[in-house]
Amino acid sequence: MEVLDHVAGKWSIGILVAAGRGPVRFTELERVVTGISRRVLTLNLRRLERDGLLDRTVYPTVPPRVEYSLTPLADELHVTLSGLVDWAERHGTAVAAARAAHDASATGRRG
């Protein structure tokens, strides 16, 4: 499903979760979404805006100030994504331990 690919993409979750905390500027997203390049962030922001998930507001200042916020459509999605992120943070250590145990077991079986 194309929609699922967009909202569950590598960078989309981090962008949407960050924007769910309130209006966020590009530089803040760059800092919060660890490892994303400016170009990839720009492409993802444009795609999420096109999909109706982000609103882009440009303020007439010098230099222009741009903020991104969730649309009403994305508000509902934010609840689900936040739950997923919380789960990953709570269980990341257990998943890593299970992975290490599995890999050690698989290595022992090859011998």
d(CA 105, CA 110): 9
Give the DSSP H/E element, type plus range, for residue 75. helix 72-110
Distance (Å, rounded) from C-alpha 88 to C-alpha 22?
22
pTM higher than 0.85 for the full model? no
Residues in CB range of 70: below 8 A, 6 or more apart: 16, 19, 20, 53, 54, 55, 78
- Residue 37 is classified by DSSP as -
Splitting the chain (111 residues) into consecutive groups of 10 residues, what average pLDDT does each group show?
A: 76 93 95 95 96 96 94 90 86 93 82 54
